Structure 1
Amino acid sequence: MINYAKMTRAFLSLLLFISCTTTAEDLVESYPEAAMRAKVAIIIDDLGYTMAEGRKLAAIPFDITFSVIPFTPYGKKIAHLAHRNQKEIMLHAPMETLAQVKWERGLDTSMKESEFITTMEKMVDDIPFVKGLNNHGGSKLTQNRPRMDWVMAFLSRRALYFIDSRTIANSQAGKAAQHAQIANRSRDIFLDNEKDPEQIQVQLEKLRKIALKRGDAIAIGHPYPETLEALRKVLPEFAKQGIELVSVSKLLKESHKT
């Protein structure tokens, strides 16, 4: 007669042995189901200047988050397109940089608080269905803690999350977000600082390893043809390995649970 209790104990012992002697990556290669809890959020930002980029991105059958620049010619239309295709929408908020050349109309360290908040209101209201915000530029503004406190207090009132694009190492955004107790993270990987297809795939591989090691990861890219082609090629492999591609809000919600 088969002793099922003994077989169960042996099977659990085997699993314990495997987990103690292999890395997360080894488990995924042998047991794809082991990676089912690994989640990746990919943000494509700089959207709003051409409708074609939005259409191409919407056609990729994965849960990619759209980050749209306010006051752009096609920003609203792209947000509506993304929403119809069940994609999450973020605001890609222009913020002051260290460069002399101004970015788009956006947030500036020279603004008084009332003007600063009014500008934020106009930006958020310009793009429909927004769930959160990440900074466009911001190498100067994100270092300014009082201004970042203004940003986070506003996002708290609107129940929006914040993702730090991390355009400079000394960013104060994360500390300000934690102080305001809003959902927030920093990006882990930029996908396409180099618009080389092979290099983008290298970055996607780094993203995969971070997600498997830590349980989740966030990447930011742009709607370049090279980036979209790399996503079409690599994301099906993520799925086969059991890595779930999710919206930013879902990743934040799940990571908060843990």
Structure 2
Amino acid sequence: MSSNLNLLLAAWALSLVILVGGGLFLEVTHEAAPVHAPMADPDTDADISPAPTTMADDGMVGDSRVDDRATDDMPRTQDAPLTAAPETMSPQTSVPDGTAETVTVKTPDGAPESDRPLQSVQDTAPAAGTAPQDSAVSTAPSPESAPVSRRRYPQPPNRSDPELLEEAPEGLLPRISRDGRMPAEVYAARGPSVGDRRPRIALMISELGLRSRVTQRAIADLPAPVALAFSPYGSNLDDWGRRAREMGHEIFIMVPMEPVNYPRDDPGPLALLVEQTAQQNISLLRSSLAQMTGYAGVVNHMGSRFTAASDSLRPILEDIKKRGLMFVDSRASQYSRAARMADALSMAVAVNNRYVDNSISSEDIAAQLQQLENQARTAGAAMGIGRPYPVTLEAVKLWAAGLAERGFVLVPVTAIANRQPLQ
């Protein structure tokens, strides 16, 4: 009996050892296994799991679960809202650690160059060890702390002149002062000296004010003669305009106009439309003009249909003229009549000769800037428009640094007014 009891006790002890030892082994193995935590989105503070990269319907590479966010920084021709989308990591080059990949996106053949909705453009990732910036305007670096660019020309006044403003139901609108001063002159940065015979090149960066980080970067980093155009759908535009003028930039306000493929491409609620009456369009124009103050002129956004419709266009240009503003024809299509009509109305006018970043690779942008030089050499003056893609800003800075050595001068947009041959 004693022998059987001893055998039972021994078997029980062995079972206990096996159970305890197995449990400890499993616990240690679990702790040593790698943990696949979801990736954090640095701009939204939301946890998102990695998703496979796929080819989107429009031919652009994007995240299969968040295609609308992954392509925010690329030119679009498909429908897109005009409100700012969540900030995302940019697909372009110039990330500080050099790990980003250049993405080339070309406008489809036959599509008007500028008939695309206003879009959010995201800056590159912050350098290692740098806290991500919040998108609120209040957190952007102040002009006093921002790097100061070298200025070739006196900066425009950093405050809006109350004598150049009138109160209207839409808000404060520009006007010619009682003593005859015009916003296009008062807010212009001075161009080169009278004796400077070098070919003139003007450059404008458009679609600003939708994202604080990229707007601040354009203001602080670009050479002072580069003009900045702000979307009427942006926020805190007066603050951004003041900062831009403090850094020496001329500023312009964008006015959305109807494209040929409206409403598939929608310029938003402030768009001027051919089917609307002149009074309705003028009211919408004034709503755009009232979004900020202190600008030298107006540039059309989209508008391949509207700028080709003389009857709709003329009242708009006449209202812009009576306010003492310059008009820039962005050339939404080859059929635009805006520049010729503005010239016939004796307005200060400039015309966009080419979009420099329809293909957003540094090599293609450099090639477009080279073509701009060729046009300036032939005609004496040329103008280009770009968007605030990080790769565009870097390419423009590099190009502008050697421009004088190549025999050209970078000038404010107002310095080429009525100097270009009109097509």
* TM-score of the aligned structures, taking structure 1 as reference length: 0.81
5 Å-filtered alignment, 1:14-93, equals 36-58=197-219, 59-93=221-255
Amino acid at match of 1:103: P
Out of 188, 205, 220, which is 2:370 matched to?
Answer: 205
Amino acid at match of 1:215: G
Give the secondary structure class of the aligned counterpart of 1:130: coil
Q: How many angstroms apart in 1 are the aligned matches of 2:237 and 2:227? A: 14
1:118-141 Cα offsets, whole Å, 9 max, x none, are 211221121211111111000111
Quote the RMSD (CA, aligned, Å). Answer: 2.0
Out of 188, 213, 237, which is 2:353 matched to?
Answer: 188
Determine if the alignment matches structure 1 residue 250 to structure 2 residue 415: yes
Displacement of 1:103 in angstroms is 1.4
Out of 101, 109, 113, which is 2:278 matched to?
Answer: 113
Amino acid at match of 2:332: T
Are residues 120 and 235 of structure 1, via their aligned partners in 2, closer, same or farther at CA, if it must alter by over 3 Å?
same
Displacement of 1:109 in angstroms is 1.6
Displacement of 1:254 in angstroms is 6.4
Amino acid at match of 1:193: N
Are residues 210 and 102 of structure 1, via their aligned partners in 2, closer, same or farther at CA, if it must alter by over 3 Å?
same
Amino acid at match of 1:47: L
- Tell me if structure 1 keeps the 8 A contact 2:222–2:397: yes
Give the secondary structure class of the aligned counterpart of 2:204: strand
- Tell me if structure 2 keeps the 8 A contact 1:62–1:245: no
Instruction: Name 1:142's counterpart in structure 2.
Output: 307
How many residue pairs get aligned? The number is 223
Determine if the alignment matches structure 1 residue 101 to structure 2 residue 265: yes
Task: Indicate the larger mover: 95-104 or 156-165.
Answer: 95-104
Instruction: Name 2:320's counterpart in structure 1.
Output: 155
- Tell me if structure 1 keeps the 8 A contact 2:351–2:420: no
Amino acid at match of 2:309: N
* TM-score of the aligned structures, taking structure 2 as reference length: 0.50
Q: How many angstroms apart in 1 are the aligned matches of 2:397 and 2:197? A: 20
Amino acid at match of 1:82: A
Q: How many angstroms apart in 1 are the aligned matches of 2:266 and 2:353? A: 26
Are residues 61 and 172 of structure 1, via their aligned partners in 2, closer, same or farther at CA, if it must alter by over 3 Å?
closer
Q: Which one has the bigger helix percentage?
A: 1
Amino acid at match of 1:106: A
- Tell me if structure 1 keeps the 8 A contact 2:350–2:418: no
Amino acid at match of 1:180: L
Displacement of 1:37 in angstroms is 2.2
Q: How many angstroms apart in 2 are the aligned matches of 1:198 and 1:35? A: 30
Q: Compare relative contact order (CA 8 Å, sep 6+) and give the higher one, 1 or 2.
A: 1
Task: Indicate the larger mover: 92-101 or 202-211.
Answer: 92-101
Displacement of 1:239 in angstroms is 2.3
Instruction: Name 1:19's counterpart in structure 2.
Output: none
Give the secondary structure class of the aligned counterpart of 1:126: coil
5 Å-filtered alignment, 1:221-240, equals 221-240=386-405
Percentage identity across aligned positions?
25
Gaps of 5+ in 1: 1-33
Q: How many angstroms apart in 2 are the aligned matches of 1:60 and 1:165? A: 20
Give 1 or 2 for the bigger CA radius of gyration. Answer: 2
